Amino acid sequence: MIKTAIKTKAYAANGSGQELKSFEVQRREPGPSDILIDIKFCGVCHSDLHQVHNEWGISNFPMVPGHEITGIITKIGERVTRFKPGDRVGVGCMVDSCKECKSCKDGLEQYCEKRMVLTYNDIELDGKTPTYGGYSERITVHERFVVRIPDDMPLDKAAPLLCAGITTYSPLMHWKAGPGKAVAVVGLGGLGHMAVKLANAMGASVTAISRSANKKTDAIAMGAKEYLATSDSSAIEKAQERFDLIINTVSSAADMNTYLGMLKRDGVMVLVGAPSEALPVHPFSLIPKRRSLAGSTIGGMRETQEMLDFCGKHLIAADIELIPIDKINEAYKRLLKGDVRYRFVIDIASLK
Ligand code: NAP
Ligand code: ZN
């Protein structure tokens, strides 16, 4: 099925914690159900940083990160029906799954019972071909894992929706954020700022929780009704038993008990942030108020399209800082310090 390969410029890390450098990957010519996409923009997710630094212990090198991809279709396979060349599209964190199990049939490919194939740092279902991500000129993807970008949404600001957007939209929907619900978002980075915008558009009353007071004006502009800086211990006290739902996007080890105490009776805190460390939970943070601690990963393809259409309708997109590819190593350093408002996006034209 793989005909000729297409030489593609990319940026890769050659080993754990190494700086990213110019690299070349091969993309397959589109098979019958494949789509070839000319990548225009790629967001920089904290997961890229975790994996380049091998913090989760699952990294393979050379690694071309990037799973917040937007671009234009240049070629389609003969069985592709939903898309045509010239369409504005996106690709997120996964590029394949078994497509047959109960989870895939339910539109929950991210929980595929065989396995989903991640956009990078993974192996295709053939068991041998490594996947390379969006810090590259183009990508070939099965049409099921391609979504449509709403007409009026700029491709650069849309890119972060493919991971940061869907990763927060999915738990907000699953745990029914909406009118009458008090939702808190912990961590105001790429995921957090999207969670604030989405939960507000869903009609929930949103509180942004950040470490300092620095992001207050921005958070209110994004739709937060309240802002809480955890550097202020009196603010934490006032927030006890206040929220129905907390979306926790924290990327490094933090005390979960502090946030669990902010849940009402029957409240749920959902971890989407994925630090490599264990996060100790005190039983009495959960027991007395029948609280739950949950987790969630990205979202299925149907829901990803639904999220994009929701964002199109509510005029929501990411707040971004556009960078050329040769600024990526500097961007990683800044991301580690929490110094980004609120997502770096690579202009892939700078790679060509
Ligand atoms: P990001 O832009 O770096 O934002 C993370 C935010 O977490 C920071 O801006 C900071 O917010 C807060 N934070 C970091 N360390 C903290 C600490 N020790 N205590 C309290 N707050 C802290 O990262 P991101 O791209 O949004 O990703 C966030 C996490 O989600 C990462 O771990 C990433 O791997 C994970 N992720 C998971 C999924 C999934 O499917 N579940 C998908 C994508 C990403 P303030 O400066 O506002 O305090
Ligand atoms: Zn991501």
Does 21 score more than 80 pLDDT?
yes
Q: How does pLDDT run across 304-322, given as a tens digit for each residue?
A: 999 999 999 999 999 999 9
* Closest atom of ligand 1 relative to the 188 alpha carbon: 47
Closest ligand relative to 134 C-alpha? 2
Q: How does pLDDT run across 138-177, given as a tens digit for each residue?
A: 999 999 999 999 999 999 999 999 999 999 999 999 999 9
Delimit the domains of the chain by residue range.
5-163+319-350, 165-295
pLDDT band for position 4 (50/70/90)? Answer: confident
Does 352 score more than 90 pLDDT?
no
The phi-psi region of residue 88 (left if phi > 0; otherwise alpha if psi is between -120 and 50; otherwise beta) is beta
Q: For the residues 272-287, what does the mean pLDDT come to? A: 97
Does 2 score more than 80 pLDDT?
no
Q: For the residues 283-305, what does the mean pLDDT come to? A: 98
- Domain 5-163+319-350: what homologous superfamily? Medium-chain alcohol dehydrogenases, catalytic domain (3.90.180.10)
Average pLDDT of the chain is 97
Q: What is the CATH architecture of 165-295? A: 3-Layer(aba) Sandwich (3.40)
Q: How does pLDDT run across 71-119, given as a tens digit for each residue?
A: 999 999 999 999 999 999 999 999 999 999 999 999 999 999 999 999 9
H helical segments located in the chain = 46-52, 102-105, 155-158, 164-174, 190-201, 216-222, 233-238, 256-260, 283-286, 301-313, 328-336
- Determine the distance separating the centroid of ligand 2 and the alpha carbon of 234, expressed in angstroms: 33
Q: Say what percent of the chain tops pLDDT 70.
A: 99
Q: How does pLDDT run across 33-77, given as a tens digit for each residue?
A: 999 999 999 999 999 999 999 999 999 999 999 999 999 999 999
The predicted model scores a pTM of: 0.97
Q: At 243, give phi and psi (nearest 5°).
A: -115, 145
With a CB cutoff of 8 Å and minimum separation 6, the contacts of 330 are none
pLDDT at 1: 47
Ligand 1 binding site (Cβ under 6 Å of any ligand atom): 45-47, 50, 163-164, 167, 187-192, 210-211, 215, 249-252, 254, 272-275, 297-298, 335, 338
